[in-house]
Structure 1
């Protein structure tokens, strides 16, 4: 297929569908592996003769590797082509999964998880940019809606998939199952993914190191504050974050394609969409982390019942996301996002106001309402971020999209830990209340986009 046609009009059918299948398979593995190991941590610690505290590195190593490498890998995608970076990330993720399954020590498993995280970052940082080249401009919202649906379903199925695998096999199978899926995804991807034009600028190693330090230290500071770490240590991390961040921003000044996309953050629609995303994912994670304590400790539900009760949220999101994608091709992201986040905030407020002993139905429809609201917001917001960026800066936009999600999720989890430590008796109610406030703030920021000039989203050159 002619490259110019691929840039302007996306891929033809059925190649478009095969390309989306390749993207969906890889994204599913990357999202699932963000949480799937949590379920098996006690077993992993016991089998590898590690302490519970040390075994947490199996989870942390994966998340940290993703955090520090998202923007650098997105920059590599712009320079060398999103297809190439995606395929390399998929191969690395699949090989690292095999090493995880064969690991016989905590050190080996942790190092393999770091490699797996780098592979996942390559997948996550360029999948949105690839979608922009897979779908024609007029149908971009549909492609982003499919991505949002895949992420939502993967998030919802994570604990269930882990439990199902562990019911018939031991913990190495949690990672081994990625190998055949990765091979299939690679076979489909190499035949269907579009070739994207490479950029002329060179990779900025200094900025990549500063970016890794800035975001790694920021996540460590947020996590430390949430878990009541020693104040001097938290302050030290904050100071180091500010120093590295300042050096990073100064280094980006004047660059045509900065690794930290300060050029894109000058576009009002893009900056407002990033802020909306951070606030919304903070709200979502506040609820996701706090509600299981409410279900089990206050209502006496089992772990299995808790998982089932939480499912309506991501399930409703998965149902709504594709429709929201179609709507986003016709209506403003500011309006759809604002409406969706207000619905989500309403659902959270209704959860806080539940009676002492609510029935399952009362819980289910409130959680579904939250999922409907989040689904109505997410796809239009992601589309707005991508459309606001010039086509040749899709990698930077996709990297920031994933980074905003990760920052929001980390902040939400840390806020729950902080609230529970300060007010353990009212931790869940306060956490969900803060989540509602964050959702309403996010709705307000989203609605501000209605006041931006239409040219802000499209005035940048497309190629």
Structure 2
């Protein structure tokens, strides 16, 4: 963290600001409402030790009401934290939705992977860690080439290709038998994570290139928010799908065959989610590319 601070201070260009004409204050009420809504949602998705009880339901209801009040406040204040009109941009709304869905699926690899590797394939903890490190390593090594590819062939096109790769990897895992062993798990995970690197880079580039400079900070925050909401949802909802599909009271002691079946079903659901994200991405591209009717802006 200290090294990152020093490098940023040394190499990032200084902000150049013109004279400040807008004296509207910071949206304190909106910020508090958003924080409370997000906190309630995070707690609703993570507490309960595997059971979704009355407290989880109450927190989820609180999150919904908090989000509703946040929208009402943002529509009325002079200087809103998030300008709701920005969501009329089809590209932005589609990118946020696809980012959340993709993050939900990527969390599956982190939640389901350790159980499958240890229970179904019988690996010890050290080997599980080594195999699990392949995905993040592939994503890290693919990041910079993904940026160059997106610059050359277009961010929108590479976004679609990245989603297709993630869907293909999930589909392969949903039909992969346990006898394929470690290589049968690593290969599709490499496809998923490389596709994720392509999607993430291209999706962010497509959004940020279409946003006014004074809105880039807010939109960057929204992209991070959608990704984190997807990670929270993936850890809980997709973890529940895995536990349910494994038909085990305690997943840590489930039979190898049950864990393998649960893994395949969970990645089948993940593939469906990516197909939905792909449909949203393709639909938004078609909508933004469609010419306007004469006299209609």
TM-score, normalising length from structure 2? 0.84
Higher relative contact order (CA 8 A, sep 6+): 2
The residue aligned with 2:25 is: 202
What is aligned with 2:252?
Answer: none
Q: Determine if contact 2:162/2:196 at 8 Å carries over to the other structure.
A: yes
Equivalent pair of 1:348/1:370 in contact (CA under 8 Å):
yes
Aligned to 1:374: 196
Aligned pairs for 1:145-294 within 5 A: 182=2, 184-196=3-15, 197=17, 200=22, 201-224=24-47, 227-230=50-53, 232-253=54-75, 258-294=80-116
Aligned-partner Cα distance in 2 for 1:345–1:330: 23
> Which whole-Å CA distance do the structure 1 matches of 2:166 and 2:235 have between them?
18
- Measure how far apart 1:288 and its partner are: 1.8
Match of 1:448 in 2: 283
The verdict on how the C-alpha distance between 1:261 and 1:223 changes in structure 2, with shifts beyond 3 A counting, is farther
The answer to whether the aligner puts 1:314 opposite 2:136 as a matched pair is yes
1:319-373 CA-partner distances (Å, limit 9, x unpaired): 2222221232244433211221111111111112222322332222221111221
**Of residues 252, 256, 262 in structure 2, which corresponds to 1:427?**
262
Contact 2:146 2:202 in 1 (8 A): yes
Taking the aligned partners of 1:401 and 1:350, their CA distance within structure 2 comes to: 28
Aligned to 2:295: none
After the TM superposition, which parts of structure 1 deviate over 6 Å for at least 4 consecutive aligned residues? none
Segments of structure 2 that go 5 or more residues without pairing to the other structure are 249-257, 292-297
Contact 2:162–2:198, Cα closer than 8 Å, also in 1: yes
C-alpha distance in 2, partners of 1:334/1:192?
30
Q: What is the aligned length?
A: 274
Question: Residues 421 and 359 of structure 1: is their aligned pair in 2 closer, same or farther, counting only changes over 3 Å?
Answer: closer
1:257 Cα offset (Å): 5.0
Q: Secondary structure at the match of 2:288?
A: coil
**Structure 1 residue 187 displacement after superposition:** 3.3
Aligned to 1:436: 271
Q: Distance in 2 between matches of 1:445 and 1:340?
A: 14
Q: Which runs of 5+ in 1 are unaligned?
A: 1-25, 27-181, 457-463
Task: Report the Cα offset of residue 421 of structure 1.
Answer: 4.0
How large is the RMSD of aligned CA atoms in angstroms? 2.4
